[in-house]
Amino acid sequence: MADLDSGHIFLTTLAPIKGVNAESGTGISHEQRVRIALAQLPTALQSPATQGIGINSPLARNRRTHLARMFVLSDIVYNGRNPQNPLVATAKGIDPVDPLPIDQLSTAYLVFCADVDAIVNDGDPLPHNLTKAQQKAVRASYARKLWDTMGDELQDIYQNCVGFEGVKTADDFAAYLDKCHVETTMPFHDYYLDLPKFNELNTKLLLGAVLVPAAIAVLSLLLRIFGMLHLPMLGFSTFWTFVVAAVVTVVVALLAIAYALRNGAKPLPPAKHDDLPSVLKGLYVQQTFSDFVIDHQAAEPNELHRAFGDYLARHRPENKMSPTQTPGVISIRAEGGITL
Amino acid sequence: MNPARPKAVNSAQGTFMSNIAGKAYAMNVITPSSPRITWTNRLLFMAARGLPRNLLGLLGLSIIHFARWVIIRPKDWPDLGQGKQNLKNDYVLFCSNFNGTWDQYIDAFSDGIPKGLNLFWYSATKYPQSIPITDFKRYITYNQINTDFYYNATPGSAQRDVKAGLRVYDAVLELAEAHKTQTPEEFAKTYRTAMFKIQHSLGEPGLGPVASLDTERADINRGAYRSDDSYGA
Q: Is A79 on the interface with B (CB under 8 A)?
A: yes
Which residue in the set B49, B66, B154 is minimally distant from A199, CB to CB? B49
User: For the ranges A90-99, A173-182, A323-332, B13-22, which has the lowest average pLDDT?
Assistant: B13-22
Which residue in the set A45, A82, A317 is minimally distant from B125, CB to CB? A82
Q: State whether B66 and A328 contact (CB < 8 Å).
A: no
Q: Which residues of A touch B65 (CB under 8 A)?
A: 66-67, 115, 189-191
Output the pLDDT for position B109: 84
Instruction: State whether A220 and A128 are in the same domain.
Output: no
Which residue in the set A67, A185, A301 is minimally distant from B97, CB to CB? A67
Q: State whether B28 and A69 contact (CB < 8 Å).
A: yes
A190 domain residue, yes or no? no
In this structure, what DSSP letter does residue B126 have?
T
Could you tell me which chain A residue has the CA closest to the CA of B225? A40
Q: Which domain holds residue A294?
A: 276-339
Q: Tell me how many helices (H) and strands (E) chain A has.
A: 9, 7
As a whole number, mean pLDDT of residues B205-225 equals 80
C-alpha to C-alpha distance for B151 and B26, rounded to whole angstroms: 9
C-alpha to C-alpha distance for A8 and A65, rounded to whole angstroms: 10
pLDDT band at B226 (very low <50, low <70, confident <90, very high): low
C-alpha to C-alpha distance for A92 and A98, rounded to whole angstroms: 13
A196 domain residue, yes or no? no
Q: Which residues of B touch A188 (CB under 8 A)?
A: 55, 58, 64, 66-68
C-alpha to C-alpha distance for A90 and A93, rounded to whole angstroms: 5
Q: Which of A117, A148, A182 is the last residue of a domain?
A: A182
A193 domain residue, yes or no? no
For A111-154, write each residue's pLDDT tens digit.
Answer: 999 999 999 998 899 999 999 999 999 999 999 999 999 999 99
A62 domain residue, yes or no? yes
Instruction: State whether A298 and A261 are in the same domain.
Output: no
Output the pLDDT for position B4: 35
Instruction: State whether A107 and A216 are in the same domain.
Output: no
Instruction: State whether A132 and A82 are in the same domain.
Output: yes
3-state helix, strand, coil in chain A (%, to 5): 45, 15, 45
pLDDT band at B153 (very low <50, low <70, confident <90, very high): very high
- What percentage of chain A exceeds 70 in pLDDT? 98
- Split into its structural domains, chain A has a count of 3
Q: Which of A265, A297, A315 is the last residue of a domain?
A: A265
Q: Is A298 on the interface with B (CB under 8 A)?
A: no
In this structure, what DSSP letter does residue A183 have?
-
Q: Which residues of A touch B173 (CB under 8 A)?
A: 317-318
Q: Is A265 on the interface with B (CB under 8 A)?
A: yes
For A207-263, write each residue's pLDDT tens digit.
Answer: 999 999 999 999 999 999 998 888 888 888 999 999 999 999 999 999 999 999 999
Check whether B112 has a pLDDT greater than 90: no
| ∠ CA A31-A37-A39, rounded to 5° | 105
Instruction: State whether A232 and A300 are in the same domain.
Output: no
Instruction: State whether A99 and A157 are in the same domain.
Output: yes
Instruction: State whether A221 and A281 are in the same domain.
Output: no
Buried b / exposed e over A30-56, threshold 16 CB at 10 Å, is bbbbbbbbbbbbbbbbbbebbbebebb
Instruction: State whether A213 and A152 are in the same domain.
Output: no
Q: State whether A49 and B219 contact (CB < 8 Å).
A: yes
- What sign does the CA torsion over A167, A169, A170, A172 have? negative
Output the pLDDT for position A23: 59
Q: Is A194 on the interface with B (CB under 8 A)?
A: no
Output the pLDDT for position B169: 98
A195 domain residue, yes or no? no
Within 8 A by CB and 6+ apart from A65, the residues are: A59, A114, A115, A116, A276, A327, B151, B153
| Interface with B, mutate which of A45, A74, A152, A188 (most B CBs under 10 A) | A188
User: For the ranges A4-18, B30-44, B55-69, B212-226, which has the lowest average pLDDT?
Assistant: B212-226
Q: State whether A152 and B219 contact (CB < 8 Å).
A: no
A152 domain residue, yes or no? yes
Q: Which helix (H) or strand (E) holds B215?
A: helix B213-221
- What percentage of chain A exceeds 90 in pLDDT? 79
Q: State whether B2 and A76 contact (CB < 8 Å).
A: no
For B48-106, write each residue's pLDDT tens digit.
Answer: 888 887 788 888 888 999 999 999 999 999 999 999 999 999 999 999 999 988 888 89
Output the pLDDT for position A144: 98
Number of A/B CB contacts below 8 angstroms equals 395
**Cα distance between the two ends of chain A:** 37
C-alpha to C-alpha distance for B231 and A60, rounded to whole angstroms: 12
Instruction: State whether A38 and A147 are in the same domain.
Output: yes
pLDDT band at B135 (very low <50, low <70, confident <90, very high): very high
Check whether A331 has a pLDDT greater than 80: yes
**Of residues B9, B77, B193, the one with CA closest to residue A182:** B77
Output the pLDDT for position A64: 97
Instruction: State whether A240 and A281 are in the same domain.
Output: no
Output the pLDDT for position B1: 38
Write down the mean pLDDT value for chain A: 93
A192 domain residue, yes or no? no
Do the beta carbons of residue B83 and residue B19 sit within 8 Å?
Answer: no
Instruction: State whether A175 and A305 are in the same domain.
Output: no
What's the full length of chain A, in residues?
Answer: 340
Per DSSP, the three-state class of A81 is coil
A198 domain residue, yes or no? no
Instruction: State whether A147 and A212 are in the same domain.
Output: no
Q: State whether A65 and B153 contact (CB < 8 Å).
A: yes
For A38-60, write each residue's pLDDT tens digit.
Answer: 988 999 999 998 998 889 999 99
CA distance A145 to chain B (A): 15
Check whether A95 has a pLDDT greater than 80: yes
